[in-house]
Amino acid sequence: MIIGFILLLGPLVVIHELGHYLVGRWFGVRAEAFSVGFGKEVWGRTDKRGTRWKLSAIPLGGYVQFAGDMDPTSRPDDEKFAALTPEQKAETFNAAKLWQKALIVAAGPLTNLLFAVIIFAAFNMAFGKVTALPLVDSFTPDSPAAAAGMRPGDRITAIDGKPVDEFDSLREAIWPYPGRTFQLEVKRGGEALAIPVRAAEKVLKDRFGNESHVGIIGVKAATPRIVPVGPVEAVGLAGKQTVSVMKMLVVGVQQIVTGQRSVDELGGPIKTAKYSGEQLSLGWLSFVSFAAFISINLAFINLLPIPALDGGHLAFYAAEAVRRKPLGARSQDWAYRTGLAFVLALMLFVTLNDLASLLPLGQG
């Protein structure tokens, strides 16, 4: 489990921080520190540009601290900046143009997304894409679709007004919404019908006992075909797959916030370590696929508009662009403190949640 976690999180953190570092360097911003992990330095070396590359004691992330930053959260240090020479000021993060700052900050999450696209594209090239028409071949037992009046041979053309071309589109549209009623447009012979179907909730379990709650309407397609794809199509398909995972994460968070899903479905570092060990035991293909999913998760989390995260910085820059001036130092300081407290509280909550789910009451 620990080996899988290290092999998973270490490279993803490096990839994320390299995005910040490389774009910052492109714009002439000097990095003072590049750390994998937080807290006390365990090992490090300083390169000829003055950047301290180091491993730190708490392996739950990382950071790049640019010249002119007060701390790893990239809060500007105005006093430190004022004491620098003009040459030193020119290579600080503070001196960069607003659009350059935004690109430097956005580069971390975008690099994580690019990493996922590369993995998905490689898988698509190697194995092709699975395709099946949205044609009902048969039904599962107690199928909600059959109960609603659908029949074998029906071709599903749209869900809630959105066109459907592939059978997989049904899964993407329905799985996140157990209990929701969908308006399915179908063609039966030459007749067009609108059939409302309420998705049932199904608990899926993998071989390790991990559960996921999904919505199903109980229809089966005919045997799918595997179609080879070229490089361009593989990348385009990978982009769609990455966007699909991002949408799923957005929906999941919305449902947890509104109470439609249990907070037990949130996972923290302990669950991630558990899942990474399980996927590693299944082989490198499963592990690399899981790494792509976690990379998208990291991008999503970092893009949330919470101060101390990349999304919080981007929100500040958006406000600055509208106001034509940055927010006051006091306002930014309080926002960063509040954001950092929220992130730490959330980390504590998901860790306790992990422990509660993995060590149920009554077990020794």
Residue pair 322/355 in contact by the 8 Å Cβ criterion: no
17 carries an active-site annotation: yes
Task: Compute the half-sphere exposure of residue 127: CA atoms within 13 Å on the CB side of its CA.
Answer: 12
By DSSP bridging, strand 138-139 and strand 219-220 are antiparallel
| Distance separating alpha carbons of residues 196 and 150, to the nearest angstrom | 10
- Distance from C-alpha of 355 to C-alpha of 353, rounded to nearest angstrom: 5
Choosing from 17, 91, 185, 278, the catalytic residue is 17
List active site positions: 17
